[in-house]
Structure 1
Amino acid sequence: MERLLSSLSDLDPDALELEYGAVRSHSTLMKRDLGLTTEAGARKENIKKNRYKDILPYDQTRVVLSLLTSDLDTDYINASVIEGATADKRYIASQAPLSSTVTDLWRMIWQHDVKVIVMACREVEMGKKKCECYWAQLHQATTFGPFTISSQGETHPNEDVVVRALTVTYQQLSRSLTQYQFLSWPDHDIPYEAAGVLDLLERVRASQRTCTSPVLIHCSAGCGRTGVICALDYIYDLLVTKPITTDFSIMKIVLELRRQRPSAVQTKDQYRFIFSSVACLIRRLLESSGRQLYINELKTQDKHTTVTPASCNKRSLPPSHHYDNDPAGASAAPVYSRVRPRNKPLSLQLSATPIYDMASPTNIRPGEGLLSQRSNGEHQVAAAEQLPPTDDDYEDFSSSVADTPGLCPPGGIGFNCRIQKPKGPRDPPAEWSRLER
């Protein structure tokens, strides 16, 4: 695993982009060579059951609904069965339900005795409906066709995740299941860091335990975000159940997912996110297995020396940003804090303190911030998620000092109006004295 971690850490971003281009090319050839078809989804009676007309499940791997609850039911739903890394592991990759397909979704859940649902989207994103609400509100019950859904409770373990305990009743039989909704994954983009997704998957595995029923995973189309989650959980099972061989390839795993669900892992950024997340996952596994005991030894030798594992962030941060260890001491497990860009003031206030250049958020409309929060603790969609994806890691920095009248005395040296007076026994330079008159 150490060798795999080293290879992941040395990857060239340009090489990854080329590799993702090869994934797309191979997917087209694979579809042709294997004769993968989408005839069921393209039938006239099923067209309106697809959220996106160009995302149809392959006939060879689609979920076939055998549970019929009315004369109008068909066997079609836009969902695919994906085989896991082990014989007893499977996933169902599904589009988010439409108002007309919610009952079909519950038919599928009941037929496959689904115990865990992972929802990787919000109901509304970028002003568009991305998922119909198919669950009951807190401590209430709602009916979809012959299915009655009851809410047994709802928790918010962190700002990224909502956990709902649900009960579904059909023909006087009741079953319990858990839904995990991940809130911090913008459509066609990637989360800010890998840790949130990896923590989510740990919770999912704890809920699934030894149950062999498939885990239902969906976003809006059931391809991009859904494909990344399937890939990460698939790779986790490989790492903990099988020895890593020299032919281990994330590209092969993604292609295998694409053989079963079209367009799984939909963008090059999502593909790159898998690599960074796997590197973070391996670090976690190495630490939990005790293969980095030398960290504790170093802490014992020098209590003033802090050794921190590498970051699990989505994007690489400047060297000045660090992750904090638990101040309780070396015996505590490392606790990571996320370094997020802070909102800068939109106007510069005159004061006697040194004046610095302002940070102007890129493409953010007035009144919008990076994260808004309701008074009841629920988090709304961040404005940054509603904007087109860019290649910038942080806000653009641009100087506003020159445009602000009255900040520097006439005739002053430009940069000196932003620099504090030197401290110490030295006499100040003549320029400072001239500026202060």
Structure 2
Amino acid sequence: MEVLVSLLSSLKAEDPLRVAQEYNVMRSRSLAMKAELSLTCKVGALKENIKKNRYKDILPYDQTRVVLSDSDSDYINASFIQGASEGCRYIACQGPLSSTLTHFWTMIWQHKVKVIIMACREIEMGKRKCERYWAAEGQAASFGPFNVTNQGETQPSEEVVVRNLSVSHMQEVRSVTQYHFLSWPDHDVPRETSGVLNLLQRVRSSRGGDASPLLVHCSAGCGRTGVICALDYIYDLLVTKQATDDFSILKVVLELRRQRPSAVQTKEQYHFIFTAVCCMLERLLPSHDQQLYCNLSQLKKSGRSNDTKPASSTSRLSQPVEMSDTYAVVNKHKQPHPPGPSPAHPTTIPHSESRMLPGTHHYDNDSGASATPIYSVVRPRNNPPARPHSAMPFYDIATPTNQRPAEASDYQLVSAPQDCDYEDVSPSEVSGFCSPAGIGFNSRVDRPKGPRDPPAEWSRLER
């Protein structure tokens, strides 16, 4: 239990920048490992096999590829991946093509696969990512010598569809369950980790003590497939107490990449593993251990800043504002001061800061001192009443006189400086020199109050 708590604390403290740097280290190490172990992809690059690959740059290693025995060709773009325990645990495979559907079911039948995880949709971003290898609900379809019947579909959540398939071959019938995860974009990650963890929990419950390999595929069989294999691999390490103090997600991903090229393909997917493992540990640890060792409510807020604003600033801004007095912030010396009592009067946001985002306030002495800021009372001058300032800057739309108001959308609004009352209005097409936009600002300048014609004495010539 102490190992899990220590691991949780270390993952919780991970900085996103450091995780990104570790991802780059993982990529460079995987390239070096490929050279050191002499990992090759010669079979997948053969002329007769090149069309069986969905992507020409994702080929299985010859040392770990799945070799078909009952087929006209022994090649399929799939790799064996060892699990945390002895024996084969996963088959990482690309989404089958229309020309490889028979090979796909041959692989399933040959290795007695009972559970499939599909982590992609058939069509994504207008492109076909996987050929359908099952039949519609209540119907049957043939793929070479294999007859596949869809006995029923259920949807336990919005993210998962479960299909119960019956596969018959050579007068033998087997059951295969497919878990289709719908909420995982290509080259991206799901919005939440709970969906993937719940999926893996369902898969483990349905498999029980089955020793046959778990078939996992997406489109290429490396990015999303690698993340699922990594999370299930880590879960086995945790529950079998194989995780030690030197546990490293980097080592786990490198082990996967030794067997399947480009497993865990993007930086976001790599970071997703860290977040998901934190959530996984939160589920495994008892509630009293969670409260005793760490604040698990902040687990998912990785990379948050340790610098917090004084609590008094937010509370003061939420109090009613007295307009009779104005308070100015006086910079304090950098030496520490004991926290003082809160000011007797509420705080008014100065006009110079009224254009800041609502609910935020920055003090000049926020950087070093944590004590309460000092305020000095400044009586307002008797200025003529001005138009009220809003919390956010507002913009006026200048409409040319020779256009209808509906055509004002041709103008692009440009944000004004903080201390300026005018906004630049730049038309997409200048209608004329005398248009309001031609002078560079809107037409809120009042008309001159003097006479339009010059005085008569100005026109007299001096002699």
The 1:287–1:316 alpha-carbon spacing in structure 2 relative to 1, beyond 3 Å, is farther
Q: Which residue of 2 aligns with 1:279?
A: 278
Contact in 2 for aligned 1:93/1:223 (Cα 8 Å): yes
Corresponding residue SS for 1:157: strand
1-side partners of 2:58 and 2:396: how far apart?
A: 50
Amino acid at match of 1:10: A
The corresponding residue for 1:402 is 395
2:44 match: secondary structure? helix
Match of 1:180 in 2: 179
What per-residue deviation string (whole Å, max 9, x for no partner) do you get for residues 31-64 of structure 1? 1110000011000000000000000000000000
CA distances 1:303-337 after superposition (whole Å, capped 9, x unpaired): xxxx98446589989x9xxxxxxxxxxxxxxxxxx
- The size of the alignment, in residue pairs, is 316
Amino acid at match of 1:6: S
Equivalents in 2 of 1:309, 1:112: separation in Å? Answer: 43
**Equivalent residue of 2:38, what SS?**
coil
Write the letter of the residue equivalent to 1:157. P
Evaluate the alpha carbon distance shift between residue 56 and residue 308 of structure 1 in structure 2; reply closer, same or farther with a 3 A threshold: closer
Counterpart code for 1:140: Q
Whole-angstrom distance in 2 between the partners of 1:221 and 1:403? 52
Equivalent residue number for residue 207 of structure 1: 206
Q: Which stretch has the larger CA shift, 176-185 or 239-248?
A: 239-248
Counterpart for residue 54 of structure 1: 57
Output the aligned Cα RMSD.
Answer: 2.8
Mean alpha-carbon deviation: is it higher for 16-25 or for 81-90? 81-90
Compared CA separation, residues 2 and 107, structure 1 to 2 (3 A): same
Deviations along 1:44-86, one digit per CA (max 9) or x if unpaired, are 0000000000000000000000123xxxx10000000000001
> TM-score, normalization: structure 2?
0.64
Q: Which amino acid aligns with 2:249?
A: I
Residue 243 of structure 1 deviates from its aligned partner by 4.2
Correspondence for 1:100: 99
Note the C-alpha offset of 1:12: 1.0
How far off its partner does 1:224 sit? Answer: 0.3
Q: Is the 8 A contact 2:81 2:91 kept in 1?
A: yes
- Cα 1:403–1:121 change in 2 (3 A) is farther
State the Cα deviation string for residues 330-385 of structure 1 (Å, max 9, x = none): xxxxxxxxxxxxxxxxxxxxxxxxxxx9xxxxxxxxxxxxxxxxxxxxxxxxxxxx
Amino acid at match of 2:187: H
Whether the 8 Å contact between 2:78 and 2:92 is mirrored in structure 1 is: yes
Preserved contact between residue 195 and residue 313 of structure 1 (Cα < 8 Å): no
Q: Distance in 2 between matches of 1:270 and 1:43?
A: 31
Question: What are the equivalent positions in structure 2 for 1:320-335 lying under 5 Å apart?
Answer: none
Task: Kindly provide the amino acid, as one letter, of the partner of residue 270 in structure 2.
Answer: Y
The 4+ residue runs of structure 1 with deviation greater than 3 A are: 290-295, 307-317, 403-406
Q: Indicate the SS of the match to 1:110.
A: helix
Q: Whole-Å Cα distance in 2 between the matches of residues 64 and 89 of structure 1?
A: 14
Given the superposition, is the C-alpha separation of residues 27 and 98 from structure 1 closer, same or farther in structure 2, using an over 3 Å criterion? Answer: same
For residues 155-170 of structure 1, what are the structure 2 equivalents within 5 Å?
155-170=154-169
Residue identity in the other structure for 1:145: G
Q: What is the aligned partner in structure 2 of residue 17 from structure 1?
A: 20
Report the equivalent of 1:392.
none
CA distance in 2, matches of 1:109, 1:313: 41
| 1:223–1:198 Cα change, 3 Å | same
Does residue 40 of the first structure (1) align with residue 43 of the second (2)? yes
2:363 corresponds in structure 1 to none
CA distance in 2, matches of 1:316, 1:159: 30
Report the AA paired with residue 52 of structure 1. Y
Q: Give 1:208 shift.
A: 1.1
* More displaced 10-residue stretch of structure 1: 86-95 or 121-130: 86-95
Equivalent in the alignment of 1:425: none
Supply the AA of the counterpart residue of 2:24: G
Q: Secondary structure at the match of 2:285?
A: helix
Aligned letter for 1:228?
A: V
Aligned CA distance change for structure 1 residues 314 and 96 (closer, same or farther; 3 Å) = farther
Q: How does 1:225-244 map to 2 (within 5 A)?
A: 225-244=224-243
SS in 2 for 1:260: coil
Matches within 5 A, 1:279-358: 279-287=278-286, 291-292=289-290, 309-310=297-298
Instruction: Tell me how far apart the structure 2 counterparts of residues 45 and 308 of structure 1 sit (CA, whole Å).
Output: 54
Secondary structure of residue in 1 paired with 2:27: helix
8 Å contact from structure 1 (residues 192, 315) kept in 2: no
5+ long unaligned stretches in structure 1: 296-306, 320-356, 358-398, 407-413, 415-437
Cα displacement (A) at 1:291: 3.6
Q: Secondary structure at the residue paired with 1:63?
A: strand
* 307-316 or 42-51, larger mean C-alpha shift: 307-316
Contact between 1:193 and 1:312, CA under 8 Å: does it hold in 2?
Answer: no
Alpha carbons of structure 1 residues 19 and 151: separation in structure 2 relative to 1, 3 Å: same
Distance 2:291 2:209 in 1: 30
Deviations 1:98-139, CA, capped at 9 Å, x for gaps:
000011000000000001000000000011100000011100
Q: Is this contact kept in 2: 1:194–1:313, CA < 8 A? A: no
Matched, 1:255 2:254: yes
Aligned residues of 1:190 and 1:273 also touching (Cα < 8 A) = yes
Work out the CA distance in 1 between the residues paired with 2:252 and 2:267.
15
Distance between the aligned counterparts of 1:261 and 1:14, measured in 2? 26
Q: How far 1:245 sits from its partner (Å)?
A: 1.4
The change in CA–CA distance for 1:404 and 1:89 in structure 2 (over 3 A counts) is: farther
1:84 corresponds in structure 2 to 83
Aligned-residue identity in percent? 62
The structure in which a higher percent of residues are strand is 2
Displacement of 1:402 in angstroms is: 2.8
Letter of the 2:395 counterpart: A
